[in-house]
């Protein structure tokens, strides 16, 4: 952890979000307790999301644990469990998160699913419409469905997009759609993320900063201010 803190400092990152993970083998897990311990050890550097997954997706105990640990959101990797995000079995969980004011993270891309149908943004759209007070963030930006993801965010004001490497990695097909949206209707709801440890933190930050944002104000919002607002770190 000291080495990682040094890497955060070198990249100019003051506060990082860490996600729990509930996934079947071989994808592995990061427990809610481990996330909470990290946040408690470095409270000025980390904000934590718990996780729920698979056959425990609608259980009261899982959310009770996340609330009791003081985590701010819940991360789901539904594709790993062969579930679409709008599976009716998840609705009770979504309703609870909406009631608790927790943020829902729905990781979506071709690599978090058995096939392309699982990361189609229409599944997120249906959830966002059914639960309009539920704040939803989409890590990986539902790549490669970039235009469709931007369309869902255009329609649903409770949807935030964090394309991470699918936006700032050079020559990713469709990445320009995220940038176009950030320069217009999505300038308050697109957020930087690193996909660490896929690439070094500093490299990811530099590549994001070099994107063709139309103004420094939009760049600053997408780099951190939008996330701070979503996490309610600013009033």
Is the pLDDT score of 68 beyond 80?
A: yes
State the CATH class of domain 2-230: alpha beta
pLDDT of amino acid 58: 57
The C-alpha angle 111, 114, 119, rounded to 5 degrees, equals: 65
Is the pLDDT score of 56 beyond 90?
A: no
Encode pLDDT of 134-154 as tens digits.
999 999 999 999 999 999 999
Note if the pTM is more than 0.85. yes
Distance, CA of 153 to CA of 161 (rounded, Å): 8
pLDDT of amino acid 25: 86
CA 67 to chain centre: 18
Encode pLDDT of 93-139 as tens digits.
999 999 999 999 999 999 988 999 999 999 999 999 999 999 999 99
CA 212 to chain centre: 22
Task: Tell which wins on pLDDT, 68 or 113.
Answer: 68
User: Mean pLDDT in the chain?
Assistant: 95
């Amino acid at each position: 952890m000291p080495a990682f803190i040094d890497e955060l400092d070198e990249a100019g990152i003051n506060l990082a979000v860490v996600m729990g993970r509930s996934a079947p083998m071989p994808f592995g897990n990061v427990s809610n307790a481990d996330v909470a311990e990290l946040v408690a050890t470095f409270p000025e550097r980390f904000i934590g999301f718990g996780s729920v997954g698979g056959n425990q997706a609608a259980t009261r105990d899982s959310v009770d644990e996340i609330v009791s640990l003081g985590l701010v959101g819940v991360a789901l990797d539904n594709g790993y469990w062969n579930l679409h995000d709008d599976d009716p079995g998840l609705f009770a969980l979504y309703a609870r998160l909406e009631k608790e004011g927790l943020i829902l993270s729905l990781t979506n891309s071709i690599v978090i699913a058995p096939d392309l149908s699982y990361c189609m943004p229409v599944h997120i759209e249906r959830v966002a419409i059914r639960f309009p007070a539920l704040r939803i963030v989409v890590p990986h930006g539902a790549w490669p469905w970039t235009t469709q993801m931007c369309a869902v965010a255009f329609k649903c004001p409770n949807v935030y997009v964090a394309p991470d490497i699918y936006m700032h990695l050079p020559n990713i097909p469709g990445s320009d759609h995220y940038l176009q949206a950030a320069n217009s209707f999505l300038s308050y709801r697109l957020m930087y993320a690193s996909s660490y440890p896929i690439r070094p933190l500093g490299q990811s930050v530099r590549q994001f900063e070099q994107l063709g944002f139309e103004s420094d104000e939009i760049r600053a919002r997408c780099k951190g201010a939008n996330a701070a607002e979503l996490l309610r770190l600013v009033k």
